Amino acid sequence: MDLKDRIIVITGGASGIGRAMARRFAAEGPTLIVCADRDGEGAKATAAEVGGVAFTVDVSVEADIQGLIETVESDHGPIDLFCSNAGIGIAGGAEASNADWQRIWDINVMAHVWAARHLVPRMAARGGGYLLNTASAAGLLSQIGSAPYAVTKHAAVGLAEWLAITHGDQGIKVSVLCPQAVRTAMTAGNEDGVASVDGMMEPEELAEVVVKSIAAEEFLILPHPQVLDYMRKKTADYGRWIGGMRKLNRAYQG
């Protein structure tokens, strides 16, 4: 997809990856960039930078996502690219509270579901559109120290696969973004964490990769190319990969 003359929506647009994508997309000459975030003031600041518009949206609430889509399409025109980017991390394993599990599930998974529910029929009716869902390398591999994050990011990748398979013949393009560590508020104070084993990427670097991958309409966007090698090792010998991950867990969890 060429981003020129497109209407683009980005959730989680107030900071981090979302803000970097908005700034980079703006250089491509889109018709409009819509920045949505629970941090309404932050969304306004990003929108002001790129000449866009802002919405205060809590992606853990389906009605907020539905309202965002309906308002943008009513007031500005058909959405060409929807970047379902907002996400959170929660540490722990099965012992994490039900409330924490539900919150991360709603934000990291159901937000993608709700965006597709309310946007795919519209896109299909007009012959196509593009969904970019931010997941994580944790959705392809795993996440030391966080079962909720690993599980929800796996689910996000699975949903993106299903959407691409099921709606591709209707002109719906799908990409799933799976970086390792990126320097954002989520990784602040954890620069030496396991996710940064291959280095900490700047959001601007990631945004550049995203633009190139959307232009090529690639399904799997891997800003850290090493992840592909890890995936191959995982599928070639799952037991050996689990053993290696246990070693990594011992190193980082103590």
Helices (H) and strands (E) in the chain, counts: 9, 7
Name the residue type at position 174: V
- Region label for 175, one of left (φ > 0), alpha (ψ between -120 and 50) or beta (otherwise): beta
Q: Is residue 84 a contact partner of residue 134, using CB atoms and an 8 Å limit?
A: yes
Which member of 149, 230, 238, 252 is catalytic?
149
Annotated active-site residue 130? The verdict is no
Alpha carbon distance 249, 142 (integer Å): 11
Alpha carbon distance 172, 119 (integer Å): 10
Alpha carbon distance 46, 34 (integer Å): 9
Structure tokens at 166: 């099921």
For 93-141, give the DSSP string: STTS-HHHHHHHHIIIIIHHHHHHHHHHHHHHHTT-EEEEEE--GGGTS
Phi first, then psi: give them for residue 87, nearest 5 degrees: -165, 165
177 forms beta bridges with 134, 221
What is the enclosing helix (H) or strand (E) of 42? helix 40-50
Would you name the residues annotated as active-site residues?
149
